[in-house]
Structure 1
Amino acid sequence: MINPRSLSRRHWLAALPAVATATGQFCQAAEQPRIRVGQIGTKHAHASGKLQAMLKFPETFELVGVVEPDAERRAAMVDRDPYRGVTWLTESELLSTPGLQAVAVETDIPNLVPTAVRCLKAGKHIHLDKPAGESLDACRAMHEIATERELTIQMGYMLRYNPAFQFADRIVRAGWLGEITEISGMMGKYMNDGGRLELAKISGGGMFELACHLIDQVVSLLGPPENVTSHLRRTFPEKDTFADNQLAVFDYPQAIATIRCNHIDPMGGARRQFSVTGTEGTFEIRPLEPTPKGRLGLDRPRGDFRKGYQDVTFESPSGRYDEEFLDLASVIRGEKKLRWDAAHDIATHEAVLRASGML
């Protein structure tokens, strides 16, 4: 099998995106002032992981404090890692902290965008977990505020920093797969009764809450779709209204993309997969995490890869969210622009809402 990290420098630069490693950024951060950050909310599914990622790099980030307006929830989190020992603040205390530069917004989904808007109006960059609320208009308005104030919104679509998806992006843009004709993806899990009741509060179901990660990748590779068709099933209507088995079809001039989301799949985590196919090749990722594995098929040699099928292996990321927060640090320091701009994030959100039957 081919390990991209053992390839020649020429091939590495040709085949993979130019992103710094966590180790390299960690060393550079030691020479610069720390970025003062905070977190608002603990109820998002990714909240504890995001806080853990910021705490992992103390030379890069100085955590000012965490906000949880729900007193019962806050009391439940005080003695749990990674919240043990953090400073608990009110939102006004956090946003008025001298030198605060960025806030990770990790509330429940209905409060994500309203909270983000308050942070932006206070002059803070934000990491906003996904998806960006239930309203396209509110999402657009939020990005308008950020653009007017020259602030960054980094959406929490975690697969953007997954090495296999970065590899896919690079080879598609380099033309290795020819003209893209097909994308397919699956992102499911088996959800317990408590989780079903919680997700049933949002009509878009699992496609909205989970498969949005894959829809972000579709829009990254192909741009905004011309049309989106949503198919959903509520398998146990006698139990709840959760849309637990869904399929979305994204139409493009020369391509069709399909994304599935199944929350009644006992093998859902292991079956998560993504593939992109063109007129000159294909690339498949399965599993997606924690250590992604790829299989590349080419109709001719490309770089150091031969014609035909071959495995492409990737090292496990140092942490699920490490790279995205180190990337945000580089953006805040003015070293680079965030690759995903407002136009992309708005197009992704519209596609997510349409795929979920919410628009």
Structure 2
Amino acid sequence: MSPSGFITRYRQLRTPRASVVPYHPSSCVGALKDVRPAMRGGEISMSRIRFAQWGVQHGHASGKALALRANPATELVGVFEADDEVRARAKADPAYSDIHWYAHPDEFLGDASIPAVAVEGRNTESLEMARHSVSARKHVWWDKPAGDDWAGFKWIAEQAEAHELLLQMGYMYRYHDGFNLISHLAREGALGDVFSVRAHMSTNIPVTAWPSNNTREAISSHLGGMLFDLGGHMLDQVLWVMRDERPARVTSFLRNDTTPEVPAFSDNTLGVFEFGKAFATVDIAAMEPSPMARRFEVYGTHGSVTMEPFEPADSLRLVLTRAWGSYSPGIQHVPLAGLGRQRLYELEVEGLIPVLRGEQRADRPLTHEVVVQETLLRGTGHLRS
């Protein structure tokens, strides 16, 4: 396999020791053509965009299926799940009522009327699903994280770029009004120079609970444990706030503090990401009592913004040293919509539709998906930092 120009340019951004190269997608990815994927003269012009779903074992799978079925501009044509027992249980889920079940993925991979695949398999199998989908020239909506094989992910990204395919990770907080406001304030300069970002996204999951994959035992198959499982959500936001600057150095603390039954599992994790003039911390644990105090904070030289909890979020705290737009100096609490998780999935689908039709750019460029995945794997220890 010969590397594409995109990945070659991305790897050239790596610099020796601790020096930092700002990461600007617009300057380093000419081949992305403004990130308008695979429309080729209105190829996807049907009134309803046809999707297939591959897998039902991801924790977001049924919610994504419901979102695809609820939108009048999309059609979930069918679902494939290889595991007989899992498929039998899924058939009783209202999300899949009266749905067609494929006998083999070739049925939709070879169907030219289906331009897109929603990858909803376990984290141990989703990368292969995405690889086959891109090989079949399908756009891919891929639920997080993007596996733990960096070379495999790079190949998928290269193929997506070469064939003008949309590769969008299922990080639903991209459509959260609070996170969008925070990134807007940070990127547009309202907060001054950002010097610190702090993200806390803990959960409470059992050691084992068959047949769920959302357990400490199941996640222990991945180096990094909880940081691998949920860290991508926060890094997606951190790196967007930081304009996709590649961290100069990553230091992680991956501990097992409360799960002696699964010694290989990291249940208490912290990643420290050092940028040229800022640092970010992402901490995620498996044993925080519910309701979790999930929190996101950004600090700059002219202000700060804090959102807690961020799911659901009804307001955020904004502090400014100077007026900016409609916001006054001092402390203010900005109201938010309090969107639920299912609504975020629906907004993901709404965001996909105009991109697949070639009407607008992707909400995140392919370079962003790549720097998020690389940074995650650096944090979990899959890649040397």
TM-score, normalised to structure 1, is 0.88
Would the aligned equivalents of 1:67 and 1:94 in 2 still touch at CA under 8 Å? no
- Residue in structure 1 matching 2:175, options 144, 161, 169: 161
Q: 1:238 Cα deviation (Å)?
A: 3.2
- Residue type matched to 1:35 in 2? I
- Residue in structure 2 matching 1:303, options 306, 321, 325: 325
Would the aligned equivalents of 1:117 and 1:145 in 2 still touch at CA under 8 Å? no
> Is it true that 1:41 corresponds to 2:63 in the alignment?
no
Q: Distance in 1 between matches of 2:199 and 2:218?
A: 24
Q: Distance in 2 between matches of 1:73 and 1:204?
A: 26
Matched residue, 2:35: none
Q: Distance in 1 between matches of 2:303 and 2:258?
A: 40
- Residue in structure 1 matching 2:250, options 193, 218, 228: 228
Would the aligned equivalents of 1:232 and 1:244 in 2 still touch at CA under 8 Å? yes
Write out per-residue CA displacement over residues 236-277 of structure 1, whole angstroms, 9 at most, x where no aligned residue: 46310210001110001111111100111114x531000011
Q: 1:323 Cα deviation (Å)?
A: 1.2
Matched residue, 1:256: 279
User: Percent sequence identity over matched residues?
Assistant: 34
Q: 1:211 Cα deviation (Å)?
A: 2.2
Q: 1:98 Cα deviation (Å)?
A: 4.0
Write out per-residue CA displacement over residues 54-89 of structure 1, whole angstroms, 9 at most, x where no aligned residue: 1111x2111110010111110111111201211101
Q: 1:292 Cα deviation (Å)?
A: 4.4
Would the aligned equivalents of 2:259 and 2:267 in 1 still touch at CA under 8 Å? no
* 1:65-80 map, 5 Å: 65-80=78-93
- Residue in structure 2 matching 1:82, options 79, 95, 98: 95
Write out per-residue CA displacement over residues 336-356 of structure 1, whole angstroms, 9 at most, x where no aligned residue: 111322221111111111222
Q: Distance in 2 between matches of 1:339 and 1:327?
A: 7
Q: 1:34 Cα deviation (Å)?
A: 0.5
* 1:329-348 map, 5 Å: 329-348=353-372
Q: Over aligned residues, Cα RMSD in angstroms?
A: 1.5
Q: 1:96 Cα deviation (Å)?
A: 2.3
- Residue type matched to 2:81 in 1? E
Structure 1 residues 235-244 or 348-357, which shifts more? Answer: 235-244
Q: 1:114 Cα deviation (Å)?
A: 1.3
Q: 1:152 Cα deviation (Å)?
A: 0.3
> Is it true that 1:278 corresponds to 2:291 in the alignment?
no
Q: 1:293 Cα deviation (Å)?
A: 2.4
- Residue type matched to 2:274 in 1? D
* Structure 1: tracts of 5 or more residues without a match: 1-30
Q: Residue 104 of structure 1: SS of its match in structure 2?
A: strand
Q: Distance in 2 between matches of 1:316 and 1:186?
A: 18
Judged with a 3 Å threshold, the aligned counterparts in structure 2 of structure 1 residues 257 and 96 are, in CA distance, closer, same or farther, namely: same
> Is it true that 1:244 corresponds to 2:256 in the alignment?
no
- Residue type matched to 1:85 in 2? D
Q: Residue 270 of structure 1: SS of its match in structure 2?
A: coil
Would the aligned equivalents of 1:229 and 1:249 in 2 still touch at CA under 8 Å? yes
Write out per-residue CA displacement over residues 81-124 of structure 1, whole angstroms, 9 at most, x where no aligned residue: 20121110121112223410111000111211211111112121
- Residue type matched to 2:93 in 1? R
> Is it true that 1:209 corresponds to 2:232 in the alignment?
no
Q: Distance in 2 between matches of 1:238 and 1:260?
A: 20
Matched residue, 1:17: none
- Residue type matched to 1:191 in 2? I
Q: Distance in 2 between matches of 1:134 and 1:204?
A: 10
- Residue type matched to 2:289 in 1? P
Q: 1:159 Cα deviation (Å)?
A: 1.1
* 1:125-144 map, 5 Å: 125-144=139-158
- Residue type matched to 2:233 in 1? H
Would the aligned equivalents of 2:307 and 2:313 in 1 still touch at CA under 8 Å? no
- Residue type matched to 1:61 in 2? T
* Structure 2: tracts of 5 or more residues without a match: 1-44, 209-214
Matched residue, 2:29: none
Q: Distance in 1 between matches of 2:188 and 2:134?
A: 36
> Is it true that 1:266 corresponds to 2:279 in the alignment?
no
- Residue type matched to 2:57 in 1? K
Q: Distance in 2 between matches of 1:266 and 1:320?
A: 24
Matched residue, 1:62: 75
- Residue type matched to 2:222 in 1? I
- Residue in structure 2 matching 1:92, options 73, 98, 106: 106
- Residue type matched to 1:287 in 2? P
Q: Distance in 2 between matches of 1:105 and 1:32?
A: 22
Which runs of at least 4 in structure 1 moved beyond 3 Å after TM superposition? none
> Is it true that 1:108 corresponds to 2:131 in the alignment?
no
Judged with a 3 Å threshold, the aligned counterparts in structure 2 of structure 1 residues 197 and 301 are, in CA distance, closer, same or farther, namely: same
- Residue type matched to 1:41 in 2? G
